[in-house]
Structure 1
Amino acid sequence: MDYRLKRDDLTEDEWVKLAPLLPAHRRRGHQGADHRAVINGVFFRNRAACSWRSLPKDYGNWKTVYNRHRRWSLDGTWDAILEALLTGRDETTGPERAVCTDPAVNRVHRPAVTRPTPPRDIRPVITRPAPPRDIRPGKMFEVANW
């Protein structure tokens, strides 16, 4: 793999903090995919909002990245990483976590956007005008129909 740093990949300082928090490979002596490439692949997928199969080959096999992300989600590795990284946060913010959201990606469900429809019992009754009695061509323009 090409280890040149891409714009949004983990820096060396970030990797030094993150590496001890990751689990060891499941099988002894196993040469699996690099954890750093997998994490960069997960970050890329979240940023690009692409499917797992559309993941660039720079991050390894998409199935490896997916399986490891899923396994770490189920066994609590991502939660442990988040807790470890939050221990150094500024204590003036209190015990609550600060959550940042990008308003460009926040969407509202369609019924929340449209005007609510009033209940059936208070809807105004809409009546249609009665059609003219004689609608034959030419009869509509007689003086009696005015």
Structure 2
Amino acid sequence: MQLTRFTDLGLRIVMRLAVEQPGDRPGSKDIAEQLAISYTHAAKVIARLSELGIVDARRGRGGGLAITELGRTASIGWLARRLEGESEVIECDGSNPCPLRTSCLLRPALRRAREAFFASLDELLIEDVTSQPTRGVLLTLPAMPSRLPTVKTMIGE
């Protein structure tokens, strides 16, 4: 089973926000840069996390991102299910449908395997995957070079 990139980014964003100090609200661009992902993609993921009630996203002065209580207490399995959606592990009904689809035993087996995968993640909370040594790495993620001071800003131009 492989998670989509969208789910992967969602989990990483939630992990990053889980280690913030209370009251700190990093911006979407900062999180995207720290996790080395495109801002556009991060914004889509953050919007979905906000819809799910996992992240509190505010605009403007005093805005930024913060993990919610639901984000802290929801299981990784619950969150991954919501980010992945209801798609099948294999596509049987597409533009070139599988001739076995009406009597296939593989599709329900894969559906059960997918649920077993998520069920194994139901045992984990965000805090379980953000303890040391991961926590230390998350807290020291550097800004990408585009956010570092330039020569012009360092000499006051």
TM-score range, shorter chain: under 0.3
Structure 1 or 2, whichever has the larger Rg, is 1
Provide TM-score, normalisation by structure 1: 0.27
Provide TM-score, normalisation by structure 2: 0.25
Which one has a larger percent strand, Structure 1 or Structure 2? Answer: 2
